[in-house]
């Protein structure tokens, strides 16, 4: 939610800075801006509403020059989407400019004090108080560093901040508390960014700021200090494992489609994760008397799917709680293990759940995609997904990867728990190994048909996604995909639940999709079909996602997408890929903003 970038150099960096903020646009794209320092005379700020390219055209970004600067891509939280509310914000005397990600919870009090002192505000944002506060302290302290730190100490809430000043034109001041910020160390310049994509085209060497730290970055140096004490912290440089090309579209029209197509490789990457890491968590899960799995949005549905796998194959039923509700429901103590799932590793709700678990002395673990993210650094046991950057706001490949990793954990626990034999575990693992080929087949052979179904039904405003057992979380996840990318109302529910009320909605304005298991799961299959019959009997449109072996029977579907036969252990993953494509093609037919759907941001770092 919002992206910050900054570059300190001795040469003109304006074009590079625009590139950085363009790469961060997936974090927020309702407005953006740049502040450039060129010597000690003035800071030049350009900002407006719109995407980086729109604002660049309106504000003539190409004419800007400067050897040091900061930039911001905004996703509005405090204050409407207006030019005035766009970042950077500048102090009354124009000596300081700031960008900020996060929320300053005590900004109204600070603002009241500053107004009394004569400060004039030009925006409705919480951010603007910070820059006036720094200016106010600077008047008294005559030191930028002391003014910056004093202002930081007055702030409550969360922040990643970058500040430039005409008083010290060669330095970027930055700080973090509960909002990500890292420093990139290049040959001729140093960088800051909310994540690696701000600078990976220029350097892979990064240093991560921790909560409660600030840094002063110049073209050839950086230091890290604690906000509370001013004491210097030494932090090793880490090499980022991702390549710049991984964040490019690679010929696909959208990142969403590219990321759906990357899934065969992503499954393989998840299978390649060191077994020791998987075993390590499996042991924790078994040792502790209670296991919680938490996540939110898609990762909540991944956790729910994990719950079914744990129950069916490992004889364990973990508690699964959406992370935004975690504090209000979980009874956590030192006998618990809490596993968080998060692509970004920065989601506020999930971080808060983990912090709560830590404060109650529970053992914490996380499956996270982004190296160096807050969650990656705070948990006792970390499994990094190795899914590569997921740029589309909608999560696809990262979710599938989490499912595979969880399935691997389940197999280890199942063996330790004597619910399955080692031989069975190996067979299931082999079946996961068939997934890349099976997904590829679906992508190559079924996309056209799924596209035509999506086109035919693109005017339908209500969809119901139904599944039983392990297909129920898949149904919920699929409904979420439809809502967020196509802006079409969708609900996911257990198909057995349908007859308890929702069936009243079946008519020609509502379409249903039903996920059917393969032949071997006889009981589940028959129960699923009985729900399908209920829809058919009421004349509702029903799309069945089914497997080859059953496709010859007279089935109660209006249309069916018949997949090649697959073992039950991996079948739900395959059906999910079909639903991803259905949402994607519905959204493209409706001309939606695929990679950046309205009102959504890639990492939701606010409460």
578 phi and psi, to 5 degrees? -60, -45
Nearest distance in Å: CB 395, ligand F6R: 4
Could you give the CA distance from residue 51 to residue 75 in angstroms, rounded to a whole number? 11
Question: Which positions from 146 through 185 interact with ligand F6R, judged by CB under 6 A?
Answer: none
Query: With respect to ligand F6R, which residue has the nearer C-beta, 36 or 485?
Result: 485
Query: With respect to ligand F6R, which residue has the nearer C-beta, 12 or 325?
Result: 325
Question: Which positions from 88 through 147 interact with ligand F6R, judged by CB under 6 A?
Answer: none
CA–CA distances in Å: residue 269 to residues 85, 179, 256, 274, 284: 42, 28, 19, 10, 23
Buried b (16+ CB within 10 A) or exposed e, 169-178: bbbbbbbbbb
Could you give the CA distance from residue 607 to residue 103 in angstroms, rounded to a whole number? 9
Helix axes 52-59, 14-23, angle to 10 degrees: 150
Nearest distance in Å: CB 530, ligand F6R: 31
Task: Considering only the stretches 129-137, 292-300, 508-516, 572-580, report the one whose residues sit in contact with ligand F6R under the rule CB under 6 A.
Answer: 292-300
> Which x/- pattern, by CB under 6 A, does the window 328-357 give for ligand F6R?
--------------xxx--x--x-------
**The two three-digit tokens of residue 53, written as one number:** 């390219």
Q: Which listed residue (511, 604, 605, 606) binds ligand F6R by CB under 6 A?
A: 604
Could you give the CA distance from residue 294 to residue 348 in angstroms, rounded to a whole number? 12
Query: With respect to ligand F6R, which residue has the nearer C-beta, 425 or 606?
Result: 606
Nearest distance in Å: CB 68, ligand F6R: 31
Query: With respect to ligand F6R, which residue has the nearer C-beta, 38 or 395?
Result: 395
Which member of 47, 111, 204, 602 is catalytic?
Answer: 602
Question: Which positions from 72 through 91 interact with ligand F6R, judged by CB under 6 A?
Answer: none
- Output the residue with the shortest Cβ distance to ligand F6R: 297
Kind plus residue range of the DSSP H or E element containing 465: strand 462-467
Could you give the CA distance from residue 240 to residue 457 in angstroms, rounded to a whole number? 43
Q: Which listed residue (158, 374, 603, 605) binds ligand F6R by CB under 6 A?
A: 603
66 phi and psi, to 5 degrees? 170, 150
Query: With respect to ligand F6R, which residue has the nearer C-beta, 343 or 588?
Result: 343
Query: With respect to ligand F6R, which residue has the nearer C-beta, 342 or 586?
Result: 342
Task: Considering only the stretches 251-259, 297-305, 423-431, 584-592, report the one whose residues sit in contact with ligand F6R under the rule CB under 6 A.
Answer: 297-305
Count, residues near ligand F6R per rule CB under 6 A: 15
- Both ends of the chain: CA-CA distance in Å? 11
342 phi and psi, to 5 degrees? -160, 125
Grouping H, G, I as helix, E, B as strand and the rest as coil, residue 530 is helix
Nearest to 204 by CA among 187, 225, 221, 180: 187
Q: Which listed residue (297, 467, 469, 597) binds ligand F6R by CB under 6 A?
A: 297
Number of neighbours of residue 337 by Cβ within 10 angstroms: 25
Question: Which positions from 553 through 592 interact with ligand F6R, judged by CB under 6 A?
Answer: none
Query: With respect to ligand F6R, which residue has the nearer C-beta, 351 or 498?
Result: 351
Question: Which positions from 446 through 485 interact with ligand F6R, judged by CB under 6 A?
Answer: 480, 484
Query: With respect to ligand F6R, which residue has the nearer C-beta, 184 or 345?
Result: 345
Query: With respect to ligand F6R, which residue has the nearer C-beta, 479 or 532?
Result: 479
Query: With respect to ligand F6R, which residue has the nearer C-beta, 44 or 381?
Result: 381
For 126, which DSSP code? S
Judge whether 441 counts as a catalytic residue: no
Could you give the CA distance from residue 468 to residue 466 in angstroms, rounded to a whole number? 7
Query: With respect to ligand F6R, which residue has the nearer C-beta, 296 or 362?
Result: 296
Judge whether 92 counts as a catalytic residue: no
Kind plus residue range of the DSSP H or E element containing 528: helix 522-537
Sorted by sequence, the CB contacts under 8 Å of residue 537 that are 6+ apart come out as: none
Nearest to 152 by CA among 173, 175, 132: 175
Query: With respect to ligand F6R, which residue has the nearer C-beta, 31 or 298?
Result: 298
Nearest distance in Å: CB 298, ligand F6R: 3
Nearest distance in Å: CB 601, ligand F6R: 9
Nearest distance in Å: CB 174, ligand F6R: 22
Kind plus residue range of the DSSP H or E element containing 176: strand 172-177
Grouping H, G, I as helix, E, B as strand and the rest as coil, residue 484 is helix
Question: Which positions from 244 through 283 interact with ligand F6R, judged by CB under 6 A?
Answer: none
Nearest distance in Å: CB 394, ligand F6R: 4
Could you give the CA distance from residue 423 to residue 429 in angstroms, rounded to a whole number? 10
**Which residue, chain included where needed, has tokens 């905004």?**
74
Nearest distance in Å: CB 477, ligand F6R: 8
Nearest distance in Å: CB 259, ligand F6R: 11
Could you give the CA distance from residue 331 to residue 329 in angstroms, rounded to a whole number? 7
For 496, which DSSP code? G
Between CA 588 and CA 75, with CA 252 as vertex, the angle to 5 degrees is 65
Alpha helices in 379-501 (DSSP H): 397-416, 422-456, 471-486
Nearest distance in Å: CB 493, ligand F6R: 18
Task: Considering only the stretches 267-275, 296-304, 377-385, 535-543, report the one whose residues sit in contact with ligand F6R under the rule CB under 6 A.
Answer: 296-304
296 forms part of the interface with ligand F6R (CB under 6 A):
yes
Question: Which positions from 349 through 408 interact with ligand F6R, judged by CB under 6 A?
Answer: 350, 394-395
Nearest to 79 by CA among 54, 115, 108: 108
**The two three-digit tokens of residue 191, written as one number:** 């960088």
Grouping H, G, I as helix, E, B as strand and the rest as coil, residue 315 is coil
Could you give the CA distance from residue 154 to residue 288 in angstroms, rounded to a whole number? 40
Which member of 2, 174, 336, 392 is catalytic?
Answer: 2
List 72's β-bridge partners, or say none: 4, 33
Q: Which listed residue (215, 299, 495, 528) binds ligand F6R by CB under 6 A?
A: 299
Nearest distance in Å: CB 485, ligand F6R: 8
Could you give the CA distance from residue 105 to residue 111 in angstroms, rounded to a whole number? 11
Kind plus residue range of the DSSP H or E element containing 184: strand 182-185
Nearest distance in Å: CB 603, ligand F6R: 5
Which amino acids are annotated catalytic? 2, 602
Q: Contact positions toward ligand F6R, by CB under 6 A?
A: 296-299, 342-344, 347, 350, 394-395, 480, 484, 603-604
């Amino acid at each position: 939610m919002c992206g910050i970038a900054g570059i300190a150099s001795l040469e003109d960096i304006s074009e590079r800075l625009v590139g950085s903020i363009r790469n961060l646009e997936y974090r927020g794209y309702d407005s953006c801006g740049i502040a450039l320092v060129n010597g000690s005379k003035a800071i030049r700020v350009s900002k407006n509403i719109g995407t980086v390219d729109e604002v660049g055209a309106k504000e003539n970004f190409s004419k800007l020059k400067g050897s040091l600067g900061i930039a911001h891509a905004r996703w509005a939280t405090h204050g409407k989407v207006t030019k005035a509310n766009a970042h950077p914000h500048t102090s009354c005397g124009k000596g300081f400019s700031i960008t900020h990600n996060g929320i300053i919870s005590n900004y109204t009090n600070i603002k009241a004090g500053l107004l009394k002192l004569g400060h004039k505000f030009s925006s409705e944002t919480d951010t603007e108080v910070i820059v006036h506060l720094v200016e106010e302290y600077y008047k008294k302290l005559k030191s930028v560093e002391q003014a910056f730190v004093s202002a930081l100490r007055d702030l409550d809430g969360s922040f990643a901040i970058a500040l430039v000043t005409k008083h010290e034109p060669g330095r970027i001041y930055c700080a973090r508390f509960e909002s990500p910020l890292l420093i990139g160390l290049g040959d001729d310049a140093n960088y800051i960014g909310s994540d690696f994509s701000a600078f990976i085209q220029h350097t892979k060497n990064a240093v991560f700021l921790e909560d409660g730290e600030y840094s002063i970055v110049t073209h050839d140096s950086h230091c890290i200090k604690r906000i509370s004490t001013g004491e210097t912290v030494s932090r090793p440089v880490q090499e980022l494992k991702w390549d710049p090309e991984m964040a490019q579209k690679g010929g696909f029209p959208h990142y969403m489609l590219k990321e759906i197509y990357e899934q065969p490789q992503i499954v393989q990457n998840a299978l390649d994760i060191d077994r020791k890491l998987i075993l390590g968590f499996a042991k924790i899960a078994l040792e502790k008397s209670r296991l919680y799995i938490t996540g939110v949005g898609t990762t909540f549905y991944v956790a729910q799917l994990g719950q079914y796998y744990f129950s069916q194959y490992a004889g364990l039923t973990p508690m699964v709680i959406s992370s935004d509700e975690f504090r209000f429901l979980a009874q956590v103590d030192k006998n618990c293990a809490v596993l968080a799932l998060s692509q970004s590793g920065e989601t506020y709700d999930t971080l808060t759940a983990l912090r709560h678990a830590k404060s109650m002395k529970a053992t914490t673990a996380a499956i996270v995609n982004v190296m160096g993210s807050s969650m990656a650094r705070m948990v006792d046991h970390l499994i990094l997904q190795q899914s590569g950057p997921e740029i589309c706001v909608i999560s696809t490949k990262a979710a599938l990867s989490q499912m595979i990793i969880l399935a691997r954990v389940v197999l280890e626990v199942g063996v330790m728990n004597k619910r399955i034999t080692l031989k069975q575990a190996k067979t299931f693992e082999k079946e996961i190994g068939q997934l890349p080929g099976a997904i590829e087949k679906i992508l190559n052979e079924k996309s056209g048909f799924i596209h035509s179904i999506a086109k035919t039904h693109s005017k339908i405003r209500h969809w119901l996604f139904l599944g039983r057992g392990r297909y129920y979380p898949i149904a919920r996840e699929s409904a979420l995909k439809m809502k967020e990318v196509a802006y079409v109302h969708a609900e996911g529910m257990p198909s057995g639940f349908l007859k308890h009320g929702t069936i009243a909605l079946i008519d020609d304005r509502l379409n249903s999709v039903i996920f059917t298991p393969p032949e071997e799961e006889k009981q589940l299959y028959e129960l699923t079909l009985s729900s399908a019959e209920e829809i058919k009997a009421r004349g509702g449109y029903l799309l069945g996602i089914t497997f080859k072996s059953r496709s010859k029977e007279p089935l109660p579907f209006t249309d069916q997408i018949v997949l090649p036969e697959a073992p039950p252990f991996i079948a739900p993953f395959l059906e999910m890929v079909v639903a991803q494509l259905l949402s994607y093609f519905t959204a493209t037919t409706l001309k939606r903003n695929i990679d950046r759907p309205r009102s959504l941001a890639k990492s939701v770092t606010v409460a």
